[in-house]
Structure 1
Amino acid sequence: MASVKPADLRLKTADELGDRLAVLKKEQFNLRFQKATGQLENTARQGTVRREIAQILTVLKEKAAASA
């Protein structure tokens, strides 16, 4: 999966970012579970998901600071 650019994230609404964040958190849990059971095949996906979560949280904080 291609990396998400922060500029693309800034164009989305807070609701869209929240929805994407929920999906990524669920995927992160599933990846962690797969790793624990020895079924994880693409270990690089864990880092990608973690990085995208951090980017979304950063953009959400920027939006909150701008509206305050």
Structure 2
Amino acid sequence: MKANDFIKEKNGMSLEELKNEELELKKELFKLRYQSATSPIDNPMKIKFIKRDIARIKTIIREKELAAKQ
């Protein structure tokens, strides 16, 4: 999924849904890191992509929190 499509999709989600999505991605990242430490994984770039998705979600969460304060 392209970054713009990802952002558009996530902007429509509520704050609670975004936090749940972030939690799921963090769990997946933990599993991938554990797998890469014990044995080689098929696609090591997936770790990088998940980290980016987490950062994007955190940015959207922060934007929504700031917008709610105003």
Instruction: With the length of structure 1 as denominator, give the TM-score of the two structures.
Output: 0.90
In the alignment, residue 44 of structure 1 is paired with which amino acid?
Answer: M
Q: Secondary structure at the match of 1:40?
A: coil
**2: CA distance between counterparts of 1:55 and 1:62?**
11
Query: Which residue of structure 2 lines up, in the alignment, with residue 16 of structure 1?
Result: 17
Q: Say yes or no: does 1:42 pair with 2:30.
A: no
Looking at structure 2, the residues matched to 55 and 65 of structure 1 have their Cα atoms a distance apart, in angstroms, of 15
RMSD: 1.2
Listed as ranges, the gaps of 5+ residues in structure 1 are none
**Higher percent of residues as helix:** 2
Report how many aligned residue pairs link the two structures.
Answer: 67
Which aligned segments of 4 or more residues in structure 1 are displaced greater than 2 angstroms?
none
TM-score in terms of structure 2 length: 0.87
